[in-house]
Chains A and B, each alone.
Chain A
Amino acid sequence: MKLKEMFKGFSLKKMLLTILCTVIVSVFVSATMTFVRDFNTYTAYESVAGLHENHEKFKEVVSQYDQEVIQGYYDNVEQQKEEWEKDIPTRALTEILLKRFESENRVHVYVTSVVMGVALGIVIYVIAIQKANIKQAVIELLIAFAILIAIIILVNHIYMIILGHFTQNAFETIIDFGGAELYYLEDNTLIIVYVVAAVILYVGNLIKQKMLANKLNKELNNK
């Protein structure tokens, strides 16, 4: 009974619906931001690839790229080789590291946007939709935060298991892939998002309701 009273007005269905909406928006926003961020790089490579191979500009850009960018990658590769203390062909390792950087980037953007979406969904539901009282809101947000952290850890472990499974299938051996990234969203970032979203929503909602109350009062006194 006490537990029921503590979560009075809470609707799991409504909260999941809110989370679904915020996750869709969050994934869309992060995909758009990533596209906008990388747009200059895309167009630069596309325009170079579009030049005739004998064009002077093409040769100039390619040689410049070769000197600056590739050299940079090779330096990283050499550093990695030293760390791993393995004699791996440099070009192959460059390719692997480039692909890994790409997949890392995609998974990180996706996981971050989903986690942000879920966090924002919970905050929006508790503060603006459920309109829980302060004590109830704090309890619900804390429980949700703990569940969220648990889900992130679980998702990371599932991802690691899948990664291990693929490694085993591909090489028929269990390989120590200690270098694989864990896609944690930093706890600090999550707390900041949580608190900022909660404060903005609380103040915004208060102002909105105050304006609505003023309109109602105006009509009430307008006899």
Chain B
Amino acid sequence: MDIKVRTNISNEYQNIEICINAPERTEEVQRLENELQAKATKNLKQIVGMQDNDIFLINTSDIIMFFSEDKNNFCKTKDGIYKIKEKLYYLEEVLPIKDFIRISNSAIVNINHVKCFNTSIIGRIVVKFKDGSEENVSKRKTSEIMKFLKERSE
């Protein structure tokens, strides 16, 4: 289906408003609406995950972390690992900013599932989750994580 994008700039608008016009509510329209909604509110509540050809609707609050491996993206909950379609840079845009933080090029973590930060034997900072698993923190991201935690505690 062809999608036309039209932008109207006028003083009469108080806020940015996105309106979808379609002949019927198709799957694509629904997906577009969800994506725009999530992007606008930064509050993605559910995500579709795949495991052994089965599809699951997962609450983002249950997700421990999102990560990429071998050009594929996954999310991890206490029940297992699910393959997802969304890219990490997109998830960064739509996930609740108070709960999720990118800790490296390949991982976004849910801070509510973090137990503590620690150092590995080679002097790298690692994040320890409540389920006992660990993930490396990129050196470049430590200042952003610190800022995120400070803002969160305010």
Instruction: Using CB atoms and an 8 Å cutoff, list the residues of chain A in contact with chain B.
Output: 127-128, 131-134, 137, 202, 205-206, 208-210, 212-213, 215-217, 219-220, 222-223
Q: How far is the CB of B143 from chain A (nearest CB, A)?
A: 10
Verify if B31 is at the interface (C-beta below 8 Å from A). Answer: no
Q: How far is the CB of B145 from chain A (nearest CB, A)?
A: 6
Size class of the B contact interface (CB-based, 8 Å): 10 to 19
Q: In the docked arrangement, what's the CA distance between A216 and B128, Å?
A: 12
Q: In the docked arrangement, what's the CA distance between A133 and B121, Å?
A: 8
Which of these, A128, A209, A220, contacts B114 with CB under 8 Å?
A220
8 contacts between A and B (CB under 8 A): A131-B124, A205-B123, A206-B123, A212-B142, A213-B119, A216-B117, A216-B142, A219-B150
Verify if B29 is at the interface (C-beta below 8 Å from A). Answer: no
Q: Is the CB of B122 within 8 A of A134?
A: yes
Task: Write the chain B residue with the least CB distance to A128.
Answer: B123
Verify if B91 is at the interface (C-beta below 8 Å from A). Answer: no
Verify if B32 is at the interface (C-beta below 8 Å from A). Answer: no
Contact with A along B131-154 (1 / 0, CB 8 A): 000000001001001100110110
Which of these, A131, A132, A216, contacts B149 with CB under 8 Å?
A216
Which of these, B116, B125, B150, B152, contacts A212 with CB under 8 Å?
B125
The majority secondary structure among interface residues of chain A is helix
Q: In the docked arrangement, what's the CA distance between A105 and B9, Å?
A: 74
Given contacts A212-B142, A222-B153, A223-B153, contact A217 B123 (CB under 8 A): no
Which of these, A133, A216, A219, A222, contacts B122 with CB under 8 Å?
A133
Q: Is the CB of B123 within 8 A of A220?
A: no
Q: Is the CB of B122 within 8 A of A217?
A: no
CB-defined contacts of B118 to chain A, threshold 8 Å: 213
Which of these, B123, B142, B146, B152, contacts A131 with CB under 8 Å?
B123
Which of these, A132, A206, A213, A223, contacts B117 with CB under 8 Å?
A213
List which B85-102 residues lie within 8 A (CB) of chain A.
none
CB-defined contacts of B123 to chain A, threshold 8 Å: 127-128, 131, 202, 205-206, 208-209
Q: Is the CB of A216 within 8 A of B153?
A: no
CB-defined contacts of A127 to chain B, threshold 8 Å: 123
Task: Write the chain A residue with the least CB distance to B124.
Answer: A131
Task: Write the chain B residue with the least CB distance to A211.
Answer: B119
- 7 new A-B contacts, CB < 8 A, other than A132-B122, A219-B150, A220-B149, are A133-B122, A137-B122, A202-B123, A212-B125, A213-B125, A216-B146, A216-B149
Q: Is the CB of B146 within 8 A of A215?
A: yes
Q: Is the CB of A209 within 8 A of B153?
A: no
Q: How far is the CB of A135 from chain B (nearest CB, A)?
A: 10
Q: How far is the CB of A189 from chain B (nearest CB, A)?
A: 26
Q: How far is the CB of B38 from chain A (nearest CB, A)?
A: 26
Q: In the docked arrangement, what's the CA distance between A128 and B124, Å?
A: 9
Q: Is the CB of A134 within 8 A of B121?
A: yes
Most chain A CB inside 10 Å of its own CB: which residue of B117, B124, B150, B152: B117
CB-defined contacts of A208 to chain B, threshold 8 Å: 123
Q: In the docked arrangement, what's the CA distance between A202 and B111, Å?
A: 29
Q: Is the CB of B125 within 8 A of A209?
A: yes
Q: In the docked arrangement, what's the CA distance between A127 and B139, Å?
A: 13
CB-defined contacts of B122 to chain A, threshold 8 Å: 131-134, 137
Q: Is the CB of A217 within 8 A of B153?
A: no
Q: In the docked arrangement, what's the CA distance between A208 and B10, Å?
A: 54
